[in-house]
Structure 1
Amino acid sequence: MTDNDGYLPLPKGFTTIAIHEAQDPEQWSHHEIVTPITMTSTFKQDEPGVFKYQYGRIGNPTREVLEKVIAKMECAKYGACFSSGLGAITTVIGLLENGDHMICMDDVYGGTNRLFLQIATKFGIEVTFADGDVDSFERQIKPNTKMIFVESPTNPTMRLCDIKAITSMAKRYKVMFVIDNTFLTPYYQRPLLLGADVVMHSLTKYMNGHSDIIMGALVTNDDKLGEKIYFLQKAMGVVPSPFDCSQVLRSLKTLALRLKKHQANSLVLAKYLETHPKIERVLHPGLPSHPQHELAKRQSSGHSGMFSVYLKGDLETSKKFLKSLKYFALGGSLGGAESLIALSTKMTHTSVPKDQRDKLGITDNLIRISVGIEDVEDLIADMKYALDQI
């Protein structure tokens, strides 16, 4: 076990899994080194009801390889891919029934908030929000509570949940614990090993990392949940294309390499911004100034390129700053090779009620930053120039 700056050790064999898991060339007719893209909607059956693959929505060889790789990376028995991150969360809703109650962390991606409040509630699912502290979740528990859903770190205020503590509490009440692990990926955080029941990813982000596909995934070690997830994948049809699956398989081979660069760049940039007179506050779990820095080290192996800052100013200040950037593109995604930047109040969290945004600190001067893998000196110079304009 090697030192990792006080964090948990990095997972061993991670890139070997990405390159070799379920990808033996001899299983393919032409012994391809790269998993073939099986672009077909249906498959020929040996006789009625006798087949290896039946229909593209139900199963596809390219998708199956990707699901096995992601499951192995998360130390999971079951993995299923979906046509988007929200498609994966929609499937999570499918694990519940009319009359069930779920507790969601109050600080989550705006699309998640919208899905739960405006869609899930229409199907008779009761949704309440709680602070990320374990006690706040426990206070919300009811006899019909069936699920707790969190992000850690959160989008965009970079708060952390104590995964082990929430797991312990959820198990006492026999409540399913689901965590969105998009920001850290299984390279930096493995929630199933900390006790979570289901882990969700927006593969669109770091797992793919090239800003060219949209996809999601769910993994679990629970046999019953695994069977339910596969059934819902088939029954709801929220499946990705084989081509997109191939793109993610390609990207996972460099995930560890990319994340190390994302992490290094984000720390250098965050440290620079902490000293800048026009920055009010930097929110980065990898910095000692983050109030949950020690928790980050206890439950993760590092941090990605994601962090947020508060500018000294108002909405007009933020707009002027964002317009002055050259390398940081104004865009509502994250995790790509290219650096992106977002104003959450006007972009990713517009569907979250303003009073809830204000309570969470998602204000017009909060800037979310996705640091790419460019040369960090250029990124610092870009930030310096834009800050000089305000």
Structure 2
Amino acid sequence: MTTKTTRTAQLGLFPVGRVEVPVLPAINATTVVFPDTTSLTPLDRDSLSRQGRDPYENFYYGGVGTPTTEAFGQAVAKLEGGTHAVLAPSGQSALVATLSALLKQGDHVLVVDTVTYTTRWYLDQCLAASGVTVTYYPPEVTDLEPFLRPNTRVVFMESPGSMTFEVQDVPALCKTAARHGITTVLDNTWAASRYFEPFEKGADVSVLSLTKYHAGPAGVSMGAVVTRQERLHATIKNQAALLGLHVNPDACARAMLALATLDLRLNQQERTTEHVLRSLTGLSGLGALFHPSLPGAPGHALWRRDFMGANSLVTLVFEGLDRAAVHARVDRFRVVRIGYGWGGMLSLATLFEVNAWRTVSGIAARGMGLRLYLGLEDPADLVADLRQALEGR
């Protein structure tokens, strides 16, 4: 049995006639020509959601997919532990396709309070306006029963949570939801198809922003919705098609090249993160440090129980420093760059106001937070840069 690293490295193998090539080709087509009318695939929901044994099998209209997009979707589904994948142009559009497919006017959705701010904006500005009731619950909740309503249709989780990485008891939440016939959706982007097995832990649907670790080094924006259930796949695939959320074959070909190095990158970044966390201990002015691997971190025991590692996002909260002082320190970075996003080769710093987007939970620390994404630079260079910037050395 080969390791996951080996299997990941070989995901890009693609059949061309009787042979295979190791690099996914970008097959671009809007028109597909059939040999006769009997072989003309009908334009219906079944055809749209069908996944064949090979990437050519269900190629019938380029506007809804080509062998390139099919092969990449199958690769992502396999990595995530699912059997079906719907691709979308971004993580946000994958989320929109999922929730708009599963919820309608009059329904109720339960959402963890630590979801990323873009998810919250969609829920509050779009989904709620369409007549769906949105209720947020604290990330430490393990019993959903008090929050459920007769019209609850979906539980939406993000674990670890955004910015401060609270870990949820996903198996317990999914077990409760399953008893009531409620669909569970997990934003599993943090785990990068490596650190957490969503379907083994009970989730029905996994939503991924492939823009992060999966395809970040390729500079590609893309998302995916993965499941093991044909019914859910068909429903979400149909919604994605109705919304026109199609992906470009060239982007998939580029993303596959990045995907093949995913495990190697994560291995290096885990080592870097361990080194940086040790080096940050005792840093002057540091009020709190957040990473699920740290003893005492919110949900640390759940992380040890359910996860197989941790990614390279780290958050620092400053103590006794005003906004101007924090900005002055961050502006001294030379190796770490300032910018949004994460998952690529460059280490990045993003500032945020602690507890800014939450409504029913919060952390004790106050003030400015600094989220660090640790990329592929030399760990010693990163530590030296962090110390000179944050301590004024």
Distance 1:357 1:376 in 2: 37
Q: Please point out which of 315, 318, 340 is paired with 2:348.
A: 340
The worse-fitting range, judged by mean Cα deviation, of 63-72 and 39-48 is 39-48
Q: Are residues 1:382 and 2:385 paired?
A: yes
Counterpart selection for 1:215 from 195, 219, 222:
222
Partner of 1:50: 40
On the 8 A contact 2:143/2:173 being kept in 1, the answer is no
Residue in structure 1 matched with residue 135 of structure 2 by the alignment: 128
Secondary structure of the corresponding residue to residue 153 of structure 1: coil
After TM superposition, the structure 1 stretch with the greater mean CA deviation from structure 2, 361-370 or 211-220, is: 361-370
TM-score normalized by structure 1?
0.89
Match of 1:331 among 315, 325, 339: 339
Q: Which amino acid aligns with 1:342?
A: T
Partners of 2:114 and 2:214 in 1: CA distance? 22
Q: Secondary structure at the match of 1:139?
A: helix
Distance 1:207 1:176 in 2: 25
Once the two structures are TM-superposed, the CA of residue 137 in structure 1 deviates from its matched residue by 3.4
Counterpart residue number, 1:84:
90
Which residue does the alignment assign to 1:254? 261
Q: Does 1:175 pair with 2:182? A: yes
Partners of 2:226 and 2:292 lie apart in 1 by 25
1:144 and 2:151 matched: yes
* Residue 14 (str. 1) matches residue 1 (str. 2): no
* CA distance in 1 between partners of 2:340 and 2:275 (Å): 23
The alpha-carbon distance between structure 1 residues 188 and 212, as it changes in their structure 2 partners (threshold 3 A), is: same
Mark the CA change 1:57 to 1:67 in structure 2 (over 3 Å): closer, same or farther.
Answer: same
The SS at the match of 1:191 is: coil
CA deviation after TM superposition for structure 1 residue 163, in Å: 1.2
55-64 or 12-21, which moves further after superposition? 12-21
Quick one: structure 1 residues 358 and 22, their matched pair in 2 at CA, closer, same or farther if it must change by over 3 Å? closer
TM-score normalised over the length of structure 2: 0.89
Q: CA–CA distance in 2 between the matches of 1:27 and 1:105?
A: 48
Q: Is the 8 A contact 2:170 2:202 kept in 1?
A: yes
Q: CA deviation at 1:17?
A: 3.1
* Shift in CA distance, 363/43, structure 1 to aligned 2, threshold 3 Å: farther
Structure 2 stretches of 5 or more lacking a match?
42-57
CA distance in 2, matches of 1:183, 1:276: 26
Could you tell me which amino acid in structure 2 is paired with residue 330 of structure 1? I
2:25 paired residue among 20, 27, 36 = 36
Query: Taking structure 1 as reference, are residues 299 and 241 closer, same or farther at Cα in structure 2, changes over 3 Å only?
Result: same
Other-structure match for 1:4: none
Percent sequence identity over matched residues?
28
Q: Which amino acid letter does the alignment assign opposite residue 40 of structure 1?
A: A
TM-superposed CA distance for 1:363, in Å, is 5.2
Q: RMSD between aligned alpha carbons?
A: 2.3
Tell whether 2:291 aligns with 1:301.
no
Give 1:27 deviation, angstroms.
Answer: 4.2
Residues 289, 66 of structure 1: CA spacing in aligned structure 2 closer, same or farther, 3 A cutoff? same
| Number of residue pairs aligned between Structure 1 and Structure 2 | 374
Corresponding residue of 1:60: 66
1:284 aligned partner, one-letter code:
H
Deviations 1:311-367 (A, max 9, x none): 121211221121111111111101111101101239xx97x4xx7399456854211
Distance in 2 (alpha carbons) for counterparts of 1:337 and 1:367 = 19
Q: Secondary structure at the match of 1:134?
A: coil
Query: 2:48 matched to which residue of 1?
Result: none
For 2:145 and 2:360, how far apart are their aligned partners in 1? 23
Aligned to 1:321: 329
Structure 1 residues without counterparts, runs of 5 or longer: 1-10
> What is the CA distance between 1:86 and its match in structure 2?
0.4
Letter of the structure 1 residue corresponding to residue 26 of structure 2: I
The structure-2 alpha-carbon separation of the partners of 1:331 and 1:22, relative to structure 1 and needing over 3 Å to count, comes to: closer
In the alignment, which residue of structure 1 is the partner of 2:54? Answer: none
Contact 1:205-1:211 at 8 Å conserved across structures: no
What CA deviation, in whole Å up to 9, does each residue of 1:119-141 have, x standing for no partner? 11122111111111334633221
Superimposed CA distance per residue, residues 168-222 of structure 1 (whole angstroms, 9 cap, x where no aligned partner): 1111222111111111111111111111010011000011131611110011112
SS of residue matched to 2:189 = coil
The amino acid of 2:345's aligned partner reads A
Q: Secondary structure at the match of 1:186?
A: coil
